[in-house]
Amino acid sequence: MDIDRNRYFMFGVVLFLLGLQFRLVDSFVLNENSTRAIHRFSQRSNIADSNLATNVYMQVGTPKKSLRPPNWLGFVLLSVGGVICLHAMVLPRRE
């Protein structure tokens, strides 16, 4: 698969829109399935907190985890997406 001008431009637009979303949204609330998957993944690590109260809550309740992305992430994605879009405009057209 050859990466041409259109694919570069679309990749830049997707990164730009993702950066715009990270800048406009303060936090993301995960659903129950995602929260349980993250909890299972973190239990396998050595630094995870594995006390009884957390395990009981994750099995009985309807937990929802909130993620707060750092402020710089939105700026980075906006910048990289913009640069890739501009780079796609100077690439030669496919003939």
| 28 vs 66: CA distance, rounded Å | 6
Mean pLDDT of 65-77: 91
The answer to whether residues 63 and 38 touch, using CB atoms and an 8 Å cutoff, is no
pLDDT in tens, 28-66: 888 888 888 887 887 654 444 556 666 665 566 666 788
**Exposure pattern of 46-73 as b/e (b: 16+ CB <10 Å)?**
eeeeeeeeeeeeeeeeebeeeeeeeeee
Percent of the chain with pLDDT over 90: 44
What does the DSSP 8-state code read for residue 49?
-
pLDDT in tens, 6-35: 999 999 999 999 999 999 999 988 888 888
* Helix or strand run (H / E) with residue 66: strand 66-67
